Structure 1
């Protein structure tokens, strides 16, 4: 039983899991704070929709290891460690959050908007009291996708010294040790599943209320 990899490497798994969660939490927090307003902005300023979504799409297509490498020489936000890892994860998280925010708000029934305007609501009141509440399920779906993607990509952050569960994976590959690889891969997969289920549950509750 002591040879079971989750028990054998338990202290390291706990430490690296906390590093992993810290990176992902900060990145998703920043991406949500920035991405949702950007998604709202392009529903009001339609001429900004194409450039903003194009940039977000381009960021999503850059191979993750390449993006980590490209950030190394960048002043302030680059280098080695957790900061460039958080920056990279944040950039990867923008597309699903911005796109789902835009899709959710533009998908609100036009008749509901007209009813709100007929009641004398301003655009701000319509956005805050009608559109965002109705679109919240779709917006959360974007946050859900971004979170799961970030949890997976965060394993690569170990390549630039940011820690996380990828430390076990890279170490296991280097010494051809499957137990080490599983010690990083299994907890990362479990975190992704828990996050997916948790956010999905909230999403369903909001859809039911809507």
Structure 2
């Protein structure tokens, strides 16, 4: 279950995000790319995995803080998030660490460190916000203004299996780097039984609209 749902790849002159095909098996070897991923012609089929989806914590940097402030959010809200973020902690359970667990622990040790004060970053508790890779909804079930988010619960397992939570309701989404107020989008996170089976630690955007 620790197989990532999506990968950022470079292969044969193409680069971008690819997601796991739920219909594939461990004996299938293929990759489908969109026309927009083709950057130049190449016969080099060595697959380079640059990044992969995993639990990643979130911090608000100077750009995001200033833009949200300009949009009318009070300073007290940022201070509350800061105090909540620095006070957040979890006790790891006694279990064998997987590669994803190790990546999470390294990310957590940075994001929840008080060193963020020196770099003007506000850590957001993992239950309130995540840093996610965005992918397209290949099922075509999501509608305009919707998104699907299912994240891994840090240090929570069910008989050795990682727990996952589906987000529902209004969410605020932005990109990195975030340069303009229009880079913020208010979307509705919905439950989708099809995507729930195989999309984890990513945000899925609709192809409709």
Q: TM-score, normalised by structure 2?
A: 0.23
**More helix by percentage:** 1
Q: Pick the structure with greater CA Rg.
A: 1
**More strand by percentage:** 2
